[in-house]
Structure 1
């Protein structure tokens, strides 16, 4: 069995793990990425091909994070020579009193104002006239922010993988689940079925499989797991186009009644529009419970929404898929970026990203994670995300 030494080992080869390795490689750190499946797989939180990029958030620090991430997307597009974001704008609309996992429309407007981000306020009638929706209740309000877009997430994943392959100091290993982590002084020994690897630093980013790794270090995270559904709806009108959008509504029984959608794009079923529910009826206790077939009830509620409130689409769901994500148990499902808890030996050399919706921050998070690993700090304010003290629990 081979043994090799590295400056940093990244556990998890999804987009954020690859982005971290890319930034580590740019600083010439000898880096290994260990992926338990194959790269660009459909088994974790990077499943599917598209994600939303947006600036609106109900908290100023999240708006700032979105703004800070923009130059890293520009850099990644330039380095990979690939267009990764179709800028079509972000539309938020719905009941202005609703508090959802995405926040609240009025609070988002205040946060945008505070940071001088331009946007347009909308009435229900304007939402129908400008953006092809119909039967919108009169009390609904909205905002449109022009910098939002649709991320070609599969291309993002592939671009980062290719850039890592070009970095002389980055090694990539797939089909390499981590089965043991041992420590000797300040060094970590990471074991996979393929060999043992020695490293000074650990960067742990295995998406929804976070506990399978950190359990090896004798702690766990309080999380819930959503196996999220998605579908595409064929355009009856070939000229119809939508921005990226999210609708805020109160749930009706098991129907979470919150939905989001995308424009048609030339890189993904261009004759279709993707629409998905932003809720799950049955959260999972463990990632192993996930299924690759979407929940039929969730798709049914989505189909009803499309039929009742969108124009130019056939309400029959096609090209369905699922995406597995781990979420913290606090109401707004916060991101968690932190060092391992202090009771773990050598904890300041173990940095983790766990829980939350973060695809829109992918290249920026790679920069943050590499800074934390190599320098023990980052110039960006991550204090709102350093939540390990709330969610990490010892298993000893």
Structure 2
């Protein structure tokens, strides 16, 4: 195999996780190839939309701990660029304290924050309206505000990682290079793409919602469902109003999942507008090939109705609509899945995988974890809750 096609590690998937993994591998002097089926920094994977929420509240103490552990890695990434990667406006969780959703539960989050010594403020319904610009909320609603919450500039995050990797003598980036075949021969993997066949002793699989398109090449699949979530921007009618990042916990009403989340106004994404999205889908997809960039009109209507009834200082007509697709495991809490390939795959311990779940806030840390797993076979970070491949990977049918 010619030198330009032989690597130590091949990373399949060039989104935020793939670029972060390559960054951490290159810091450890590892010759790395990143293969992206589209172009880099695209809008076709889990990273559609250029903002993500950074938040510490979670109902599980191990998740709170993991977010705290990600902060030094965000600081390190920030040191590489003058462009702010986060706008720290705080995180607000509020709503019905008895509701349990895919995000968790407010009371459990308070307990987890206390256990991890994270400061937060409890708020009642009248404070939600007087301090945070919401209106017409049930008097029983409660919430918590955590000041370190932020809006992540995901595009700038990816650009920072991309430029580092592009300038590294150890990293090769190839786009429009979908993987069509993976074979294990002579103690290494041969990875076939339209740009040629490349070899490496180890693989990292981070194909986002396109996980099964890659996994099936190794004869396994992940138990996943796909959400194509509706999102829109709402014009500010009161320029002075700024919202934190927020999430509202409410029980569904009929086919309205009734759970929404929002972002502040940010300079990098339609200034003068704020983004609000539904945190439910009425009809999950069976495959990412079914995705559309046009949101479900009913989900969009429910979101706009929430904005009209419960938010102040905004024109409730949705603008700049889009969708964001995410692969979610069938694990009850829609957990991340971080593991090696299943044991029936040849050289399975040489294949590190991240698949499913919302992980924007973990981008720089997950790259480190995947690099650790690839080079050392283990990581000092506790991923025991996510190493569930034995349960959710099955042989390809």
Give the TM-score normalised by the residue count of structure 2: 0.98
1:265 aligns with 2:298: no
Question: Displacement, 1:62?
Answer: 0.3
1:216 aligns with 2:230: no
Question: Displacement, 1:345?
Answer: 1.0
1:70 aligns with 2:71: yes
Superposed structure 1 runs of 4+ greater than 4 Å apart: none
Provide the C-alpha distance between the structure 2 equivalents of 1:392 and 1:81, rounded to a whole number of angstroms: 41
Question: Displacement, 1:89?
Answer: 0.3
> Is the CA contact (8 Å cut-off) linking 1:242 and 1:264 kept in structure 2?
yes
Post-superposition Cα deviations, 1:321-377, rounded to whole Å, max 9, x if no partner, equal 111110001221010000001111100000100000001100110000011011111
Q: Which residue of 2 aligns with 1:143?
A: 144
Q: Which residue of 2 aligns with 1:383?
A: 384
Q: Which residue of 2 aligns with 1:51?
A: 52
1:166 aligns with 2:167: yes
Provide the C-alpha distance between the structure 2 equivalents of 1:395 and 1:371, rounded to a whole number of angstroms: 27
Provide the C-alpha distance between the structure 1 equivalents of 2:55 and 2:182, rounded to a whole number of angstroms: 38
Provide the C-alpha distance between the structure 2 equivalents of 1:364 and 1:303, rounded to a whole number of angstroms: 35
Question: Displacement, 1:184?
Answer: 0.9
Post-superposition Cα deviations, 1:169-210, rounded to whole Å, max 9, x if no partner, equal 000000000000011132000000110101010000000000
Question: Displacement, 1:247?
Answer: 0.2
Provide the C-alpha distance between the structure 1 equivalents of 2:184 and 2:235, rounded to a whole number of angstroms: 54
Provide the C-alpha distance between the structure 1 equivalents of 2:53 and 2:396, rounded to a whole number of angstroms: 36
Stretches of structure 1 lacking an aligned partner (at least 5 in a row): none
CA-based RMSD of the aligned residues comes to 1.0
Provide the C-alpha distance between the structure 2 equivalents of 1:380 and 1:361, rounded to a whole number of angstroms: 12
Question: Displacement, 1:71?
Answer: 0.7
Q: Counterpart of 2:385 in 1: which secondary structure?
A: helix
Post-superposition Cα deviations, 1:362-395, rounded to whole Å, max 9, x if no partner, equal 0110000011011111110100000101100012
Provide the C-alpha distance between the structure 2 equivalents of 1:340 and 1:82, rounded to a whole number of angstroms: 37
Question: Displacement, 1:158?
Answer: 1.1
Question: Displacement, 1:82?
Answer: 2.3
**Counterparts of 1:18-29 in structure 2 under 5 Å?**
18-29=19-30
Provide the C-alpha distance between the structure 1 equivalents of 2:344 and 2:112, rounded to a whole number of angstroms: 37
Q: State the number of aligned residues.
A: 396
Provide the C-alpha distance between the structure 2 equivalents of 1:288 and 1:266, rounded to a whole number of angstroms: 32
Q: Counterpart of 1:68 in 2: which secondary structure?
A: helix
Provide the C-alpha distance between the structure 2 equivalents of 1:332 and 1:67, rounded to a whole number of angstroms: 20
Post-superposition Cα deviations, 1:262-292, rounded to whole Å, max 9, x if no partner, equal 1101111110011000011110001100001
**Counterparts of 1:1-396 in structure 2 under 5 Å?**
4-395=5-396
Give the TM-score normalised by the residue count of structure 1: 0.99
Stretches of structure 2 lacking an aligned partner (at least 5 in a row): none
Provide the C-alpha distance between the structure 1 equivalents of 2:125 and 2:17, rounded to a whole number of angstroms: 37
> Is the CA contact (8 Å cut-off) linking 1:227 and 1:280 kept in structure 2?
yes
